[in-house]
Structures are given as C-alpha cells and as structure tokens.
Structure 1
C-alpha cells in the first residue's frame, strides 16, 4: 500500500480511539481521515456525528472505500477476528492490542506473508516509544545481546505512587485506572501479563524468536510485601517491574518479567509514573536507552499515527531476524537469577533445595522472613511456593545470566581456595 490519502475504518472509540481522532485533526501533514467507526455500546453519548458510527463490524471490513483498519478495542478474541478478516480482505491493519498479537503472532506473521498485506503494531509495545521499528530497522544487522525495560506504564505509575508518594496499593491502582493508564481488567497489568505480552513482541523483533506468552515467566506487583519494600529502602534501591530478554553464552535466550530491585545508577531507576524505558545492549551500538510515556491517550495514539504514516510509503515488517535465527530457542534451564524471597512464616517458606545457592537468611516473627539466593530461571517458574499467598519474589539487580558461567566461577573459586 502506497498512497498519499488514506481513509480509516476505526474499531473502538475509547481513550485511545478518541486520542487518535484528536491527533489526526492536528496533523495536517498526514492526509488521513476516519471514514467510519465501529462501536458496541448503543447508548453511550459520543462527541462526533451519529452517522459516523456503526454497530456492525462488516460495515468496515467490507467497505472498499476504507484503506486501513485501525483496531483499538480491548477484547483480544474479537480483535483477532477483526484483524484476521481485514488482512484476508486485503486491508492494511494497525493495532494496539498486545494480548491478541502475543497469542496469535505466528499465524498473523504467516497471514501477512500469504496476503501481502501489512500489519503494524508500534503502539502495542511501549506506547510512545519507537521500539518495534527500531528493532526491525536500526538493529537489523547489529547483534543484540539484551533488551530490558519498564514496558508497562500502569504498574510503573502504581509503584511510583507507592514508593515515592507513600500511597497504599489499592489507592494507587484506583488512580491509575481513573487516569486511563490501567487496563479495563487491571489483572493484565498488575500480574505482569501485559508486560509479558509485550515481551513476546520484543523477542520477535529483537532476536527473531517467536514464542507464546505462556512460555515466559511473569511475576507481577500484587504480592510485593512490606518487608520487600523495606529491604529496598534500606539498600537504597527501587522496585520496578522489568521485562528482560538476554542472549546466553552457550546459545538460546533467557526471558522473564519480574519485580526487580534497581540501583540508583541504572537508567531504569529514573523512569517514573506512567513512563516506559527500554535499554538495549548490542554488539556495535553498545548501550542505548529509550524513554517515553507508556500509557495514556495521546502517547498511544502517537504510535498509531506513526504506523499510519509508515503505511503511506508502503512500509511493512520484514521479520528478517526470524529467518536469520530459525535455530534460536528459549533456554530457561540454562539461566539463573538472583532473588529476594520474603515469606510470612515457616508454613510458606521456599524450598531451599530449589536454590543453587542461598546467600542470606533473616527470620522475624514480627516483620516476616526473607532469604536471598540464586535459582535457575526454569526452576523458579516451576516452584510451587512461587504463587503461594504471603510469598514475595523480587529479582536482585544482577541481570539474568547463564548458569554455566555461575558454575564455572564457583569451580574456579574452589580451586583457588
């Protein structure tokens, strides 16, 4: 698709849909207009003429006068049906639905190839941060070693309110929802599922690894304990929900979403409120840092706008890294992570046999107990105590690393002794 004027069929007119309408009105350089909008609620008052709206999705999908379908609804199953039919009908698609993409990415990649029709989704990764296209284009030949970041603005807003402003968790969550930062189902945010879905997209474009969200460990922020928060303050650290993917020395990728203790000197320590931040480490460009708003109407709409502009000059994802790295796979069994684990009492204490090493232990009937230790990423994901009420797991500042490197260091230390 290459054209100077595009007419949009828009699905959804919520926070982001209205934001898109507003930014299109203020962007004369892009000759794009909304031709029709499909919505569900027949009773809701809307600020645009009634004839612009329809309640039948086929009015958009079957309209030859609409060039691009922009999908901005929050139902992943309905979004998938819309996007699939649009691609089969030869209509370019822009979407912000990360859950839908993460759950159907292999099929959607194949649909793009078989139909020759582009599907763009910059807004699905980090809202206003230009991440996907940079991973696709700027890093298309530069070997990436890792990507790590705060990629969910809602949880970052909540953690900032708790850590900096002293707000209780429930109050911080309610304010995030009132401001439109949190999803309609807050569990997607606070349980780390939204960040996990975005990590699926980053894996595909950073490393060419296509995997399902269920293959990735995700621990959210709902279980962060007062003891873990106190430990962070005493150490001069901040707790951030961080998604990370890293190449391992022996091949394979380690990837997870975990609450993480971040040191003041780290780029992500200064990412506050609804902002997102992403750090890339590559062979040639070295270390780079992206910072921008990760939630809200205009930040997300700006990414949709960028995709619409890209469609006017025929842009599409080439997925070159998928072809280059067909052998690449997740290897959680080859990676280890340093963690702080807090627990209420002996009844929900973690199994010490799960750990490669236990570094520190503290027990208190009044404050609760904790330990710090090293554990395999795969072992942590399978640990029965991980999801036990009263147990909190927070990753320490060290990055995910290869288990073999840890074993070699321990062996060298033993020989030296």
Structure 2
C-alpha cells in the first residue's frame, strides 16, 4: 500500500480526532499534508506551514490523493466535495446534512467521475453501519432498521433519567464534553438523526428520501410531568429513528419513544449509539458503539480513508438492483401528547383517542394520528407541546392507510374515474 497524502478541510473536534487517531495508528501508511481552515489567526499546536485558508491549494495539489471534509457548513462542504471529485480526488466526509440533502446527486457524480465519496463517520460515529449494509446486507431484503442515532441526546436523556439532573445543566455538560454542538438545535430537535436515517434509507432499502420528507421530533420539550409519567409506567425515553418496510412501502420517522425496560434500546446509555437491523434471513442484529466524541468519529473517518487506499467504493447495490419502494407517511402511529391547556391541540387531527387526562397544570392524550398529519399539524410547533411515541407506537397501525388519507385516495380515484368516463364518451 502506497503512502497516502491527505488534504483536510476543518480542524475542529472531529478533525483533531482524525489527526490523533491517524498519528497513533500502526497499520496505516499516510499523513495529512495540508489543512484548510477558516481562521488563520487562531492559535494551534501544529506547525503553521501545515495550514492554509485557500481551498484551491488542496484541490489543485496533484500530490494530494484524498480530500477529507470535516466542516459544519453543509453548503460549503458540498462545494468542497464536488470540486474534489471533479479534480479527480476521492473524498471522505462526516457532514451528514450535506450527504443526506445531496445523496442522489453525489451518487451520480461518483459515476461520472469514477471517484468515490465515503461517509461512514457521518452516521452513528464508531459503528460501521453503512459498510455493513453495503457488504453484509447488500442482497438481503430488510424489514426494519432503527436505533439511537444521536449520542448527544442519548447522553442527555441518560443523565436526566439516571441522575435526575435538569435538562439545561446536562445540555451544558454535553457541550463541554464535545458531545453536543454550541448550537444544539440539530441534536435536540431530532434533525441530526433524521439526516442519518435519510442516508441509511438508501443503503438499507435502496431509496433516496430527502430529509424534508421525514417527520422529526426532538427532546427539547420534555417536561417534568412527562418524565414522571414515564417513570410511573416503568418506561425510559429514547430518541429513536426507525424505518420499516411493510408490503411494498417503507415508513420512517424520528420521534422520542417510551421504551420498556426489557427492550434492547432501554439499556443503551450515555453517548453510545445502537442500531438494530431486521432482515428476512438474518432476523435481528444489534450494533452498539460510541456515537459522539472526537476519537470515535475520527476513527470512523480514518477507516474510510484506509478503505479508499484500497480503491473501495459504495456499490449502492439495492439502489440499482431492487425495484424502487415508495416511501410513505400515510400511516397511523400511537402517540402520547402533553400540553398545558385543552385548546392547544386539535383533536380532530387524530384517527382515534385512547386516553385523556386533564388537570390545572398538565394535560395529555394518547391517540392514533397519521404520520403525515402529525408532520403538517400547526399545533405540533407549539413549544409547550411534547410528543412521545407510546410502547405500542407503530406496532398496530403502521402499514395501514389513515382514514383521512383513505378518503382522499378514494376521492382521487373517483375523480380519475370521472375523467376516464368523459374521455371514453
């Protein structure tokens, strides 16, 4: 194996983790030749000649074999990746937002240039889930993929439940440890695991689903009353991303869930991630690893660099070899919805209501609501309303068409029939 010269963009938490893991690896022949950063005046421990503020200095350097992109800005990251591919360089990235929003384009660009983009570090930290889906499950039909995809929120939820700490205090601690960003919105509102789920849908089911089509709810609205409800019923709460194939459709979402103590995900603590895969032949598989932190993610990036040194590429087997399954949000799930006063929630949005509770300072209902209806409901944007999937969650309703959507579908069919009748006449 030849010595690999790496051009690195970004030297934050993950970039520094990559530098440390690379320099302490005994089985990799390579080095970082140049690092592109935004702030040239910031003091750093490495020699100043290693840094540059010019993107072109890396992209146009023929001696650099692989470009590694580890910056936060998704638009800037896409520009770097596209420029590198067109310059004949393969790329490693950990920017899940950029990959999720542009994956279909990136797949096409890889075909056009003959170069590869690898992004294991963008999904679930140290768990090699993408390569596992590509290689081990490349030809096996999967029924479901789900799990805890965000180490920051899992750390926060663990501390809240195990140590009964307040949310603001735990969030600050997670930020100080490097598990959560200075702006934690992507983590605590469920956007980060949604980007990851969007990427995994391509590798697990062969479909490109833009993140905007996936419903996501976070943990930032959890109230003390919600935690008390969970404890009283013997549950914990986890932020779970999941996608399930039922018949010829795939359903997916990211929603906090009440998890029973005998379920696998209940025992995943702190910054660890977990992914469960259910296949037609293998049944259920479980993968656990650290999902946040400098070194775990840096190690995943280094693994991708090593793979590129052997000319590895994602083959996207299911995307090219399977019939395209439609992604759907038109199915009911059972949720617990807590709020301050009855007028805050439009109960007509629900397919059915199983339980209601009202008091002076806390109200909740448990009912079935269509995923798509939940995504569009105006009241769900109210910061005083919290939504959690029940343990029954999607076990009973998922795969069934919502009544409201069934009516719309029948109406559309009738319209189509009338049009055909007119044409026939």
- What TM-score comes out, normalization by structure 2 length? 0.92
1:402 paired residue number: 398
Separation in structure 1 between the aligned mates of residue 342 and residue 128 of structure 2, nearest angstrom: 47
Poorly superposed stretches of 4+, deviation over 4 Å:
none
Separation in structure 2 between the aligned mates of residue 359 and residue 159 of structure 1, nearest angstrom: 27
1:199 paired residue number: 197
- Paired residues of 2:241 and 2:253 also in contact (CA < 8 A): yes
Q: Does 1:324 align with 2:318?
A: no
Quote how far apart the aligned CAs of 1:403 are: 4.5
1:415 paired residue number: none
2:355 paired residue number: 360
Provide, for residues 271-326 of structure 1, a one-character-per-residue CA deviation record: whole Å limited to 9, x for no partner: 11111011111101100111000000110011011111111211100111112334
Please give the residue correspondences for 1:127-276 in structure 2 after superposition, counting only pairs within 5 Å. Answer: 127-249=125-247, 251-276=248-273
1:343 paired residue number: 339
- What TM-score comes out, normalization by structure 1 length? 0.94
Quote how far apart the aligned CAs of 1:198 are: 0.6
Separation in structure 2 between the aligned mates of residue 79 and residue 403 of structure 1, nearest angstrom: 37
Provide, for residues 120-173 of structure 1, a one-character-per-residue CA deviation record: whole Å limited to 9, x for no partner: 000001010010000111101111100111001111111111111111111111
The partner residue of 2:39 within 33, 37, 41 is 41
What SS class does the counterpart of residue 101 from structure 1 fall into?
helix
Q: Does 1:382 align with 2:376?
A: yes
Quote how far apart the aligned CAs of 1:337 are: 1.0
Please give the residue correspondences for 1:89-104 in structure 2 after superposition, counting only pairs within 5 Å. Answer: 89-104=87-102
User: Once structures 1 and 2 are overlaid, which stretch shifts more, 285-294 or 184-193?
Assistant: 184-193
The partner residue of 2:113 within 103, 112, 115 is 115
2:412 paired residue number: none
Separation in structure 2 between the aligned mates of residue 354 and residue 145 of structure 1, nearest angstrom: 29
What SS class does the counterpart of residue 123 from structure 2 fall into?
helix
User: Once structures 1 and 2 are overlaid, which stretch shifts more, 398-407 or 381-390?
Assistant: 398-407
What SS class does the counterpart of residue 223 from structure 1 fall into?
coil
Structure 2 unaligned regions, length at least 5: 404-425
Quote how far apart the aligned CAs of 1:41 are: 1.0
RMSD of aligned Cα (Å): 1.4
- Paired residues of 2:251 and 2:329 also in contact (CA < 8 A): yes
User: Once structures 1 and 2 are overlaid, which stretch shifts more, 294-303 or 396-405?
Assistant: 396-405
2:11 paired residue number: 13
Quote how far apart the aligned CAs of 1:43 are: 1.6
Quote how far apart the aligned CAs of 1:399 are: 4.9
Separation in structure 1 between the aligned mates of residue 160 and residue 137 of structure 2, nearest angstrom: 36
- Paired residues of 2:194 and 2:241 also in contact (CA < 8 A): yes
Separation in structure 2 between the aligned mates of residue 5 and residue 309 of structure 1, nearest angstrom: 11
What SS class does the counterpart of residue 394 from structure 1 fall into?
strand
Separation in structure 1 between the aligned mates of residue 137 and residue 170 of structure 2, nearest angstrom: 37
1:371 paired residue number: 365
2:418 paired residue number: none
Separation in structure 1 between the aligned mates of residue 2 and residue 213 of structure 2, nearest angstrom: 41
Structure 1 unaligned regions, length at least 5: 408-417
Quote how far apart the aligned CAs of 1:203 are: 0.5
Separation in structure 1 between the aligned mates of residue 212 and residue 159 of structure 2, nearest angstrom: 30
What SS class does the counterpart of residue 371 from structure 1 fall into?
strand
